[in-house]
Structure 1
């Protein structure tokens, strides 16, 4: 009854024969399209002496209307301030007995570390892919010394309180 519901034969040989005929028909259509140069950007070429299928990249697609509306509403309510930027100005205290970094360097490194952790990109990839001049070791040190549960909770409390304060001012101004 399950095979009938799926519209598939119970015999494995018959199933394979149907599948092979569908594959042959698709490959024949592709072969004709290649001969007529009507593949929609697909081409067969050589790369390192081996056959290679090249697919031209798709153009940029329009943003869905719902996403445009959501972005507009967020910008209307809270402006263009990035929450990650707000977090970097929170007071992150070091667990070390002494720290010798300037505020600007610490903020830049914190922003990179928080970006790496928040996007699930990882500190190593942020260090390798960026042109920010920060080493992986420096970012890992900042992560180890400054990004802990207590500091993250304090930073989030500060961010949420600031958000509520802005909402309160906006509501009072209406």
Structure 2
């Protein structure tokens, strides 16, 4: 069911690229997949065999017994022993002490001002009115004060009370006319790109292409139209989903509802972040992965690296029928063979959805929801 003329609840077929048949080869080339389903399947089978062989060899040579395959309740069980705590670096205490002595107190407003002087991120904030009457220096000063008041939750009224030049009314005007989501995304990307570019390689190492993502809940009033009741935390709140690189620089953030899929938020951030970072893998918690997520991350060219809370009960699919004795050290956790005919029949439709995710013809949440609803009765787990 859908609503004619709606956006979020529109016909799911409108989420797909409308020019797919005319530009079919171009879309397949963009995803780096062959036009023939058999070629795609044969490559997946080869990759699975190589990985299973490597894993089987690893268990054969497993001497420290940190990861073992055993049985529990007459079923295969993967047991992972926790790693021992690593010792702290010998000079860590001295480094912390030196940092505390040098920068014991940091004025966040001065930090924000210096960041703008080095990056010029305020240039991305443009007025939504027809013209700008104020000079750019005045706009810059009021933008910094407004961003400081909003970012620290101090509030514009409290910030204006400490300023002799800018009133609350003037800061509120800047907030309404200049500060919007698209402007903030461009400014955040500007700052993040400068952080990545200016890192000292001898201190931070080479730039990484991996990021981690997770959500954080923020309490809010129940009268707020964006607030939702969270069944886990038992209160009204909103959720912010963050994507950060390995050095803790945020490359994307987004507001998500408490009950929406973290899989969609994960894919949205990797595909839509505006920084120069090229993400080739994304680390998530248990809620940020699913079988469908693994499939589309593979098609879109990056690896999904989840934390499995239920790692013990995980199963591995056999690539083909008749491979009962191929991997002797994995027999307890091997499951049924994959039914490749399902993927062969739905191959072009899968590419359509992957293309829709790549081009952003609709939000990742609406596309994935359509996929779950359309194929929930089909066993697409073989796509792993």
Q: TM-score, normalised by structure 2?
A: 0.24
Structure with the largest fraction of strand: 2
> Whose radius of gyration is greater, 1 or 2?
1
Structure with the largest fraction of helix: 1
Q: TM-score, normalised by structure 1?
A: 0.50
